[in-house]
Structure 1
Amino acid sequence: MADDLRPLILLDVDGVLNPYHRQGPTWLSVKAVCDGVAFPVVLNPEHGPMLLQLSHETGAELAWATTWVEHANREIGPRIGLPELPVIPVNSGSSAPRVHPKTPPVAAYVNRRPFVWFDDDLERADRQYLKSHDNVDAFRIIDVGPRRGLRDLHVEQAAEWLTSLDGKERSRG
């Protein structure tokens, strides 16, 4: 599938890859620097391989959709085994009433490519914004609970939706 037609897997960091609490002894507790400030971060080194497998099995491209923007490639990705990924400029200053500040830049970026978005902070207004945006086609937001972060179930939901895109009608939302 051509890169400009490949589905996207959009990744948030805080609450998704960096939940509120460390979930087990294999998780890493580190300081990650963003805009010159060191933040405590907990990361699961299994998330990188899990996401790479999801990308490989579904033909989807991974991309950052996080306020960490380019810092995610330096501070988060290498610690969980992800290569450098495209970064959506979610801190671009684009905004719309009642939607998360990341939503308009994501809508501008996707260019009608189907996408799954792992996030912990999106609401009904974000879904409505995406559904009504001309640049957005099929999408699925996977709500990740910020206390526990990304789980196998979330990845399974994404895989099911992404593989359903082949030959089936695409759903929006």
Structure 2
Amino acid sequence: MTSATGRPLLFLDVDGPLIPFGSPSGHPQTAAAVSSPSPGQGNPLLERLDPELGSRLLALGCRLVWATTWMEEANEVVSPRIGLPRLPVVEWPAPYTDEGPRDLHWKTRLLVEWADGRPFIWVDDEISAMDRLWVDAGHPGPSLLHRVDPTKGLVEADFSALTDWIRAVTPG
């Protein structure tokens, strides 16, 4: 991975992979289950961000890209908390639409277009079998659609799977 163009893209979602919805009791919580913050206090879910995630993601050697409904806010709020620089952001059309085959995530087609044939990883908690089929049929380069358990977020086993795939598809 000597050039920026040769590095795989890593499309990164925030809610679920970086901000886990699990609770200390072991029962999952959703964003709606957490009380609204008082004005000026920010999003209480941000406390769940692991400050070590940024360095671990950078160490993968991929070109990191935000693929989240947080869009530019991910650069403003999430990146500084986990030690990431400003990242490119996939801009989603509004409203988010579910056009296409049943069970195809609304992000899938746009990520394939954004990748434009380059190797990519998509880390999200909402990836389905239909997304994998769509990417396999429509993306000429290597891809890994990696589903993260939203109750735990990115954990060691996820990083191992990402690292193994990167080693398998990158020369040297």
- Give the one of 110, 117, 130 matched to 1:112: 117
Map Cα deviations across residues 22-61 of structure 1 (whole Å, 9 max, x no partner): 67xxxxxxx99xxxxx543221101111111112xxxx21
Map Cα deviations across residues 45-95 of structure 1 (whole Å, 9 max, x no partner): 01111111112xxxx211111111111111111111110011112345564
| CA drift at 1:6 | 2.2
CA distance in 2 between partners of 1:69 and 1:10 (Å): 12
| CA drift at 1:166 | 3.2
**Hey, what does 2:19 align to over in structure 1?**
18
| CA drift at 1:136 | 4.4
- Give the one of 76, 79, 82 matched to 2:81: 79
CA distance in 1 between partners of 2:162 and 2:93 (Å): 25
Change (3 A) 1:154 1:75: same
Larger fraction in strand? 1
CA distance in 2 between partners of 1:115 and 1:3 (Å): 13
1:160 matched to 2:164? The reply is yes
TM-score, with length taken from structure 1:
0.78
User: Higher relative CO (CA 8 A, sep ≥ 6), structure 1 or 2?
Assistant: 2
1:50 matched to 2:60? The reply is no
**Hey, what does 1:132 align to over in structure 2?**
137
| CA drift at 1:167 | 5.1
User: Match of 1:132, as an amino acid?
Assistant: A
The answer as to whether partners of 1:103 and 1:130 remain within 8 angstroms in 2 is: yes
Kindly name which structure, 1 or 2, has the bigger radius of gyration based on alpha carbons.
2
1:69 matched to 2:74? The reply is no
The answer as to whether partners of 1:69 and 1:91 remain within 8 angstroms in 2 is: no
Corresponding pairs, count: 152
CA distance in 2 between partners of 1:107 and 1:144 (Å): 19
Aligned partner of residue 122 in structure 2, secondary structure: strand
Instruction: Show structure 2 runs of 5+ residues with no match.
Output: 25-35
Aligned partner of residue 17 in structure 1, secondary structure: coil
Q: Over aligned residues, Cα RMSD in angstroms?
A: 2.4
